[in-house]
Each structure stands twice: as C-alpha cells, then as structure tokens.
Chain A
Amino acid sequence: MTGPKQPVAARPGGGGPRRPRVRAVRRGVPVPLLVPGLLALAFLLVPLLALLVRAPWRSLPSQLTSTEVWQALQLSLISATAATAVALVLGVPLAWLLARAEFPGRGLVRALVTLPLVLPPVVGGVALLLALGRNGVVGQWLDAWFGITLPFTTAGVVIAEAFVAMPFLVISVEGTLRAADPRYEEAATTLGASRFTAFRRVTLPLIAPGIAAGAVLAWARALGEFGATITFAGNFPGRTQTMPLAVYLALQNDPEAAIALSLILLAVSIAVLAGLRDRWMTGA
C-alpha cells in the first residue's frame, strides 16, 4: 500500500466504522436502514413542504417589495458572514490548541467550549448582556475606557451570532485536526519550519475541507440565530432586526407575512449552501 495521495480525512463526528469492503455494502439496501432513513427524510421535509403548501403565494410579491424585508435580509447575510469570519479567526486557533497543544484541563476546556451548544440561546443572550452590556462585567470598562456599548448595535448582533455559532466551527475543525496525521507537521518541523509555519503551510491546507464544513455550519447557525440576538442586541429595523427576528414578530399578528419571510430566508440559505457545497466540499 502506498501512502495516501490525499491525506485528508475530515470526520467531525470522530471515528466512523471501518468496513473492509466498500462494494459489498452497495449492493442492496437493508430494510432496517431504509425504512427509518426514509422516515427521517420525511420528518425533516414534510414541515418544509407544509410551509410551501400553505404559503400565501398571492401576497408574496408585495411582501418581497417591502423595504423592511430587504433590510432584514441584508442585515442577516452581513451579520452571519461577519460572525463566521470572527469564528474563523478565533475558532481555528482554539481548535488547534485543543487538538495539538498539551495542557492540564484540556478535556474540561473542550467541554466548556461546547456549552453554548446546549445553553438555550436566550440564556446565552442574557449571559452576553451580563458580560458585555453597558453595565456588564467587562462591558462597563469598554464603556468607561473606549465609550463602546455593544447592546442594540449591529456589532452586538455579530457578537451574539458568533457566540452561538463558533462552537460548531471549533468542534468541526478540532475533529478534522485529530483525524489528520500529525506526522506531516512533525516532518515539516524536522525540516526546519517553525511550528507556526508548519501550521500555516502544512496543517491549514490539510484541514481546509474541515474548516470549510465548520464555517458553513457556523454560518447557517448564525443566519437562523434568534434568541441570543434579540436578547443581547434587541430589535430595531435596519440595525439589529435580522430575518428570524422579523419572522418572529410578524408571527404575532400576521402569520402569512411570517411564512413569506421564512420562505425568503429558506430560499436564500439553500442557494448559498448549495453554492458553497459545490465549490468547497465536493471539489476539494
């Protein structure tokens, strides 16, 4: 056996089962897998189909032309992208530390990183207020020293979304790093590269698909983020009102408008995710 030509094994979920023969598996689909699999597919798709069936197609054009909708959509796309950028810049180094650096309490740190995943987003928003709010533990100094207040600003939206989305990226990238062979980096360092150069020139290209997958997950999560955003950044059209907030408030008195807004968000996210998948995740 020769060494792997493409030494990329991106598996965010950890060790998958290794089957020796690929071809034998492909022949028939076992019923115990087929039935629940199809049920799962139906479970995920039927609610979306119901949304399409009951959509107010007639009033849709007038919904589409409202400036508030475009404002919210624009803000959603910008803030989700900015939150993903923040998650990338800070999350990839954190993932590297968790996967490659030896330090006491690493297991605990890893568990803490995933906490925002289980925390109800509204609680996350309150926690952010207590930390970064005008009167918060850190926020009061930001206010006193730099005159920066984050709640009720677009920057606040980005922070709330990054807080909720970054763990997705960290977990995905860390999983990829653990699956990647560290000997490539070791080889690079024995050839004279510094550890940072090895990270930049060897590790990063090696784990690029994992980073891309994590970034897409983080972006999707940020785009749909509701609880932390409305709690930390509030809701003001054009400044902090993202699409999920607009949908929720429309739902209070005009469910048809809420469905229309959801369809727009769905269409845009499907278009973006499908585009990214073709470019990054299958071609790499």
Chain B
Amino acid sequence: MTRTARRTRRMLPPAGVGVAALLALSACSHSDGATPAKADSSRSAAPGLSGTVTVFAAASLKESFTTLGEQFEQQHPGTKVAFNFGGSDTLAASITSGAPADVFAAASPKTMSVVTDRTDTTSAPSIFARNQLEIATLPGNPGKVSSLKDLTDPGLKVVLCDRTVPCGAAAQKVLDTGGVKVTPVSYEQDVKAALNKVELKEADASLVYRTDVKSAGGKVRGVEFPESKDAINDYPIAPLKSSKNADAAAAFIALVKSPDGQKVLSRAGFLKP
C-alpha cells in the first residue's frame, strides 16, 4: 500500500507536465493551411482555359473575390477558382516558401514586394484597387463623431490597430498628418479585431478600412474624414512564376481589372486605382 501510494505520487509531476504540454499544443492554433490546388484535368468544351486557378488574396478581398471567382467559373466552364484568404504577410511568406499558387493579390505594395523581391512573379504587379480609412462608430453615432479630432474626447473608448499591422500603420499616419493625438484603450492585432470591438459595442469608435465598414452592414456607422487621403492603401495583383496554369491566371487578373471586376470591387467599398 505504502509503496503504491508513494509510486503514484512520484509519477505525478511528469504526468502533469505531459498534460500541460498536450494542452499547450491545442491551446493556440492559428491555422492558416494553404488550399491545395487540385490538378483538375477534366477537358472543357471551351478552348484554352481549363483546370484550377489558385488565388492567394488578402482577407479584405474575401467577399468581392468570391463573387469574381463565381463569375470567372461561369465565363469559363471547366475552370475552378480556389481561394486562400489570409493576412497578406502570411500569404507572402507561404508563397516564398513554395505554396502552390497562381495569383497573389496583396493588401499593400510592401507585402507584394516580399514576393517580387524573390522574383516569384512572372510580370510586374499592377494596382487594381485602393482602400482608405474611415472612422467606425456605433450605429446612430451616439458619440457624435464627425472628424478625427473628435476621437480625442476622453469619454470615448477608441480602439486602433497595432502599429505593427498595416491598418495600424495607416492610422498612425493619418493621426500624425492631422496633428491629432489619440489615446486608445487598446491596440488590436488586426483590422477585423478592431471592427469587432465596435460591433460588439465594447468600443465607441475605431479607425478601419472603408471596406470593413461596408462588410459590417448596419452594425457600425462609417464616418469619412479628409486626412484619410494621406494613407490610401494600394492593392497590387500579380501572376506567380510557380503557376501551372498561367493562361487561366492571366484571365482571372484580366477579369479583376475589367469594368465588371471593378464594379464588384467598388460595391465592396474599394476605390478605383
């Protein structure tokens, strides 16, 4: 008896550490698995285009590119567009480490340059859309926010993106040019987190992109401000060298830049390039 008790007791610490390690593994899982490109070899009736186009695109493009993907599949029967939406930095990193993709659409020239510096693109990237910041407030704007200066009101809970992420850098730039000093209650890890805080009514205002305000529907109210012109975000798109379906990739990029594509993008809140 004594021996058994002592033995189990001695076993406890390693067992505990094992459990801790196991749970730590499952605790933090930011899964961003790349969508594998399926080599679809079914022949289509239409000449030229077939197979799958794999598009890596910034998360803010999700709604508009999904619509464009459906349009593309309709225009070119036999083709399939597979998307991998995510943070532009993450996508750029997976492309440079060999993820199979045909097209890359980034939310900033800086992240695109990560890929172009490695000459992973076949032709120079071109700007297909632009985005700018807006103030997101609660529905009905109870804080009566009408300009950047109004965000300095100490009674207002403001959240900003952290300076290390693109929306935070843009926010910092407009605040600097406006000569406005805002003390937020939090520096959020990405633009959707900042938007969520306003959607959940935990914060009164935030600086997010026009497209985010649009995608939130009526849950937030967007307020435009003149300083946003100083931090307009360009969205570049480029075909990738590793592409096994270069013709279809070029056709998808052409659709994005066509009047039809631009209509879809502007409906989501993007500005024309």
Known: A133-B202, A220-B20, A235-B186. A5 touches B4 (CB 8 A): no
Could you give, for residues 1-42 of chain B, a 1 whenever the CB lies within 8 Å of some chain A CB and a 0 otherwise? Answer: 111111111011101100111011011110000000000000
Question: Is B143 engaged at the interface, CB distance under 8 Å to the other chain?
Answer: no
Query: What is the total number of residues of chain B having a CB less than 8 Å from a CB of chain A?
Result: 41
Interfacial residues of chain B within 138-173, with CB under 8 A of chain A in the complex: 157, 159, 162, 164-165
- Contact of B27 (CB < 8 Å), options: A13, A121, A231: A121
The reply to whether A10 and B28 form a contact with Cβ atoms under 8 Å apart is: no
Contacts of B76 in A (CB 8 A): none
User: Which chain B residue shows the least CB distance to A226?
Assistant: B28
Contacts of B202 in A (CB 8 A): 129, 133-135, 151-152
The reply to whether A253 and B164 form a contact with Cβ atoms under 8 Å apart is: yes
- Contact of A234 (CB < 8 Å), options: B27, B28, B185: B185
The reply to whether B28 and A121 form a contact with Cβ atoms under 8 Å apart is: yes
Q: How far is the CB of A96 from chain B (nearest CB, A)?
A: 19
The reply to whether A7 and B5 form a contact with Cβ atoms under 8 Å apart is: yes
Question: Is B200 engaged at the interface, CB distance under 8 Å to the other chain?
Answer: yes
Contacts of B244 in A (CB 8 A): none
The reply to whether A12 and B159 form a contact with Cβ atoms under 8 Å apart is: no
User: Which chain A residue shows the least CB distance to B4?
Assistant: A18
Question: Is B188 engaged at the interface, CB distance under 8 Å to the other chain?
Answer: yes
Interface of B is mostly: helix
The reply to whether B13 and A9 form a contact with Cβ atoms under 8 Å apart is: no
Q: Which of A84-92, A100-108, A244-252 contacts B (4 or more CB under 8 A)?
A: A244-252
Most buried by A among B16, B20, B196: B16
The reply to whether A213 and B28 form a contact with Cβ atoms under 8 Å apart is: no
Contacts of A250 in B (CB 8 A): 164
Most buried by B among A12, A120, A172, A252: A252
The reply to whether A234 and B29 form a contact with Cβ atoms under 8 Å apart is: no
Question: Is A60 engaged at the interface, CB distance under 8 Å to the other chain?
Answer: no
User: Which chain A residue shows the least CB distance to B169?
Assistant: A253
Question: Is B187 engaged at the interface, CB distance under 8 Å to the other chain?
Answer: yes
Could you give, for residues 173-204 of chain B, a 1 whenever the CB lies within 8 Å of some chain A CB and a 0 otherwise? Answer: 00000000000111111000100110011100
User: Which chain B residue shows the least CB distance to A225?
Assistant: B27
Interfacial residues of chain A within 160-183, with CB under 8 A of chain B in the complex: 164, 168, 172, 179
User: Which chain B residue shows the least CB distance to A134?
Assistant: B202
Cα A254 to Cα B60 with chains together (Å): 23
Known: A120-B29, A221-B23. A236 touches B5 (CB 8 A): no
The reply to whether B193 and A231 form a contact with Cβ atoms under 8 Å apart is: yes
Cα A116 to Cα B187 with chains together (Å): 25
Known: A8-B9, A18-B4, A235-B189. A13 touches B15 (CB 8 A): yes
Interface residues of A (CB under 8 A from B): 1-13, 16, 18, 22, 44, 117-118, 120-121, 126, 129-130, 133-135, 151-152, 164, 168, 172, 179, 209-210, 213, 216-217, 220-221, 224-227, 230-231, 233-237, 240-241, 245, 248-250, 252-254, 277, 281-282
List the 6 closest pairs (A to B, CB-CB), nearest first.
Answer: A234-B186, A152-B185, A135-B201, A252-B164, A253-B164, A213-B16
